[in-house]
């Protein structure tokens, strides 16, 4: 399955680049366990941020970001088979969950609930 990892990225950061980077790192922590479970992990920012840069935007506060950030996740969800919703306040992640539910896709709130997940799914083991 292609699984969208949804959670806070910009929310609660005051647009501080270091805090946004820390949030992205938290999202990425789920990538290996999802991959190890036999799936392909996806994070909307992995696609949206390069699109913004290539359009000449100066970052997530650029007016163009509104045309790219949420729409990217919405387009990705047309191809995803499920969503892992990580903890934390996030309007975008909540929108991802709503779209997934509207499309009948499963939404998991814990890595342990993703099909195929096994304990010890971190690091290089396995």
Domain 2-113 has CATH 3.40.50: yes
User: pLDDT tens digits, the chain, 126 residues: what are they?
Assistant: 999 999 999 999 999 999 999 999 999 999 999 999 999 999 999 999 999 999 999 988 999 999 999 999 999 999 999 999 999 999 999 999 999 999 999 999 999 999 999 887 455 544
Contact 117, 33 (CB under 8 A): yes
> Which pLDDT belongs to residue 123?
54
> Which pLDDT belongs to residue 122?
53
d(CA 102, CA 45): 22
Contact 82, 3 (CB under 8 A): yes
pTM value?
A: 0.91
d(CA 40, CA 81): 10
Distance of CA 71 to the CA centre of its chain: 13
């Amino acid at each position: 399955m292609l699984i969208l990892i949804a959670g806070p990225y910009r929310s609660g950061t005051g647009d501080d680049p270091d805090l946004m980077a820390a949030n992205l790192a938290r999202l990425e922590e789920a990538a290996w366990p999802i991959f190890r479970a036999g799936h392909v992990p996806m994070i909307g920012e992995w696609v949206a941020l390069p699109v913004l840069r290539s359009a000449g935007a100066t970052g997530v506060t650029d007016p163009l970001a509104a045309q790219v950030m949420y729409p990217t996740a919405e387009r990705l969800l047309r191809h995803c088979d499920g969503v892992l919703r990580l903890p934390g306040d996030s309007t975008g992640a909540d929108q991802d969950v709503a779209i997934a539910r509207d499309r009948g896709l499963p939404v998991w709130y814990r890595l342990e609930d993703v099909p195929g997940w096994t304990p010890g799914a971190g690091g290089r083991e396995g």
